Homo-oligomer: A and B are copies of this chain.
Amino acid sequence: MEGADDDVPLILTWEDANSGLLSDDGERNGVGPYDILNTQVIPTAGLPPNYRAHNASLQQSWEMNYQEAAIYLQEGENNDKFFTHPRNPKALAAYLFAHNHIFYLMELLTALLLMVLSLCEAPAVPTLRLDVYVHATLELLALVMVAFELCMKLRWLGFHTFIRHKRTMVKTSVLMLQFVEAIVVLIRQTSHLRVTRALRPIFLVDCRYCGAVRRNLRQIFQSLPPFIDILLLLLFFMIIFAILGFCLFSPNASDPYFNTLENSIVSLFVLLTTANFPDVMMPAYSRNRWSCVFFIIYLSIELYFIMNLLLAVVFDTFNGVEKMKFKSLLLHKRSAIDHAFQLLVSRQRPTGVSLKQFDGLMRFYRPRMSARDRFLTFKTLSSAGAPILSLDDFYKFYEVIGLKWKARRSGEHWFDDLPHTTFLIFKGINLLVKSKAFQYTMYVVVAVNGVWILIETYMLNSGFSWSRIVPLSYIVFLTIYGVDVLLKIIGLGPLAYFSSGWNLFDFSVTVFAFLGLIVLAFNMEPFYFIVVLRSLQLLRVFKIKQRYRNVLDTMFELFPRMASLGLTLIIFYYSFAIVGMEFFADVIYPNCCNASTVADSYRQINVTIGNRTVLDEGYYYLNNFNNILSSFVTLFELTVVNNWYITMEGVTSMTTHWSRLYFMTFYIVTMVVMTIIVAFILDAFVFRMNYSRKNKEPQLDPEDENGIVFEAEVSRDEALDTLELYKQTCPGISSINSIQGVLLAMDRSGSSSLVYLGRRSRTKSDLSMKMYEEEIREWYAEYSRENLPQSDRCLVEEELDNPPLCPDPEHEP
């Protein structure tokens, strides 16, 4: 092929600038508008001493270029700043060590271990309690691991970059603190007041896999300033009303809510969450009916106006932040592609990347991608089938890279290779299972079952009792479900069947229900009731309507982000739970808090009312901070906000009234997070609605249903050429096999070309690309105008919290 071996890279990386390969040294630095790292002298270690011997050394240079380009593309994908790009082979080794899934997994597991430890530490979950020296040793072990990870990072980043990276510095100092404390615990053999354990989530947040959580946290912090502004307004009104309330209601001796100014403020704070309404009004209301005006005005202003304003402000900020984030990510990726492109072009062909170079890149970028897929990706990128990729082609890199390739065939059944009779039977089942009639029949069955269960349960009215005699209807419905599952597995093939979330759900529900029946036979508590969950299948019926389709699709698209928001919330929970446990563990128990106004909720005692004696059971002692699991449940209750003041007052009455600070802070923090969640859902949904309004005919656009689909046609000649190329360059047998597989498939189908389809699911980024089409063009134009890539590196604030750092002097040409 076109004398690929004679290509000389335009730029050499990690090498002496005075390389013999480049005859003209001046050209080296004047390459295009792109700022490429100053190359460094490569130490000879690991390389043959005379590696400049033409052919071998050329090969070496290319391999290094491929690797650096792959690193650039990875940095673009992960939104890592280029100032953390490895500068020399030593850094490269550390970089490669710290950037693979085993390392990431280790990072994650260490962080999780540290967090899970609190199940076993001092106020431990009873069944999981460990001795002090056991858990302290485990902790030390984990901390050593973290230290090791940090050392790798130091080696990769270099000392200067390391101490400038804020997040890493915070992590380092927390690590040291924890180290000292763990050692103190080991020596004293007892846990002291260790509030610093609340900082443990920092290790988790710093994990590579928790990028989404980090992004959420950043977004929360960015939304904070406007939030705090409105919060001040809220508190201002609260104080004014508290003084007024105190003046108005404190003369009423039977009103415990306003008897001091502090109580007055606390009452109104709780009233803001509506948790004590109308109770807080009742004593005043029973004295004078017009006092309700005070409360109505307060709630109208605070709850119905300012709280909504809060949402509006956060929503507005959130909107802006989302768009800016998208822009910076997009430009960062473009910049990464620019860098990679310059490393891949040769002096002979300075405007394009050939398949050989692309393949070399991909071997580093996606080591496990098959040669066939690499080739197909290249085909998809190259516009109009040109043999080399221009920069504009290469810009599509990230859109194409995630595709899963599959040959387009007429029949795609898993049973295609079976004998004819069997094939016909399977084909029949396949058609049946795929038919609308079958689907709707199943919906009807599910609906009937749902109604049946509803009626049956309603008939039971006098409490649910599990009898050993299983009603016939159970068996009938379960049989139908079982047949349904079997038919579908046979008809669609197990692979296709289990690749759908809905099918997986059906399958597990049915299996659980069967297990329940079997368990029933052994006289244990059965769980046939799981079948009730099958009614969730009816959600599919909702899909018939456009709006539900939108809602459900949005739901599924939102799911990853929602999960990361949930995780963010859990991290906050964790910190608060640790603080709560340190201060309030074992403070709450039955019949505590008799001095407080909420004593009733904690009381467990026989009470005489009139002439009857009843057990007055207050369950609130269960909402305690005795171990981390209880703490989580208690914190969830505080999040839901209803009756949260009972927990607060209970704890306060057993400790000091400064405890209220903890509960109020928690309320405000969850309010921030919850408001952001609401803003997020609102934004995502409105965005989605606007999108589907802009692209009005989703049925005409196959992408809308199946995600993104690309097509690539491969002719026999191309396949042969590629095979030849691979034989020349890449000694791996698997690559050659994979291309030979293509030729084999062509032989089998008897055609001279084969069409492959590349599929991936649609992401929010794809939607954004369509939505902001015009803006994106502007951004790109702006980006091209600013010739120096430094400037757009600064736009990308992700990962780097210290803007003055960039433009980096090292990057000046």
Contact = CB atoms under 8 A, between A and B. Distances in A.
Contacts of A619: 279, 282-283, 285-286
A246 B457 contact: yes
B529 A261 contact: no
Interface in A545-590: 545, 547-548, 551, 555, 562
A535 B240 contact: yes
Contact of A607 (B226, B261, B275, B607): B607
Given A313-B685, A316-B689, A458 B261 contact: yes
Interface in A599-645: 603, 605, 607-610, 616-617, 619-620, 622-623, 629-630, 633, 636-637, 640-643
A311 interface: yes
A465 interface: yes
Interface string A227-259: 001100100100110011011101101100001
A312 interface: yes
Contact of A454 (B239, B311, B466, B636): B239
Interface stretch (A301-309, A337-345, A408-416, A479-487): A301-309
A401 interface: no
A74 interface: no
Interface string A273-301: 01111110011011001001000100100
Contact of A299 (B260, B547, B640): B640
B629 A289 contact: yes
Contacts of A630: 289
Given A457-B261, A458-B261, A532-B243, A677 B304 contact: yes
A529 B244 contact: yes
Nearest to A637: B278
A499 interface: no
A718 B633 CA distance: 81
A425 interface: no
Given A535-B240, A538-B236, A682 B251 contact: no
A269 interface: no
Nearest to A690: B316
A686 B316 CA distance: 6
A542 interface: yes
B633 A685 contact: no
A265 to B, nearest CB: 10
A464 interface: yes
Contact of A312 (B230, B278, B620, B685): B685
Contacts of A299: 640
Contact of A278 (B243, B279, B623): B623
Given A233-B542, A233-B548, A279-B643, A464 B289 contact: no
A614 to B, nearest CB: 10
Q: Report whether over half of chain A's contact residues are helix, strand or loop; otherwise say mixed.
A: helix
A315 interface: yes
A453 interface: yes
B682 A464 contact: no
A536 interface: yes
A463 interface: yes
A533 interface: yes
Contacts of A247: 457, 464, 529, 532
A311 B682 contact: yes
Contact of A226 (B244, B315, B547): B547
A466 B678 CA distance: 47
A240 B454 CA distance: 9
A551 B316 CA distance: 13
A461 interface: yes
A520 interface: no
Among A254, A464, A529, A555, max chain B CB count under 10 A is at A464
A681 interface: yes
Contact of A316 (B536, B555, B685): B685
Contacts of A466: 251
A609 B617 contact: no
Contacts of A308: 677-678, 681-682
A315 B682 CA distance: 8
Interface in A687-740: 689
B276 A243 contact: no
A31 to B, nearest CB: 39
A282 B248 contact: no
Interface in A648-697: 674, 677-678, 681-682, 685-686, 689
Among A260, A533, A609, max chain B CB count under 10 A is at A609
B682 A312 contact: yes
Contacts of A674: 304
A607 B286 CA distance: 20
A261 B461 contact: yes
Contacts of A555: 305
Contact of A641 (B262, B274, B309, B623): B274
Contacts of A319: 686
Contacts of A279: 619, 643
Given A229-B547, A312-B682, A313-B685, 8 more contacts: A240-B532, A247-B532, A261-B460, A262-B461, A277-B637, A283-B619, A289-B630, A313-B551
30 contacts: A226-B547, A233-B542, A233-B548, A243-B529, A243-B535, A244-B532, A247-B457, A247-B529, A247-B532, A250-B463, A251-B464, A253-B463, A260-B462, A262-B461, A276-B642, A277-B637, A277-B642, A279-B619, A285-B622, A292-B636, A304-B674, A305-B562, A311-B682, A313-B547, A313-B551, A315-B686, A605-B609, A608-B608, A642-B642, A682-B682
Interface of A: 226, 229-230, 233, 236, 239-240, 243-244, 246-248, 250-251, 253-254, 259-262, 274-279, 282-283, 285-286, 289, 292, 296, 299, 303-305, 308-309, 311-313, 315-316, 319, 453-454, 457-458, 460-466, 529, 532-533, 535-536, 538-539, 542, 545, 547-548, 551, 555, 562, 603, 605, 607-610, 616-617, 619-620, 622-623, 629-630, 633, 636-637, 640-643, 674, 677-678, 681-682, 685-686, 689
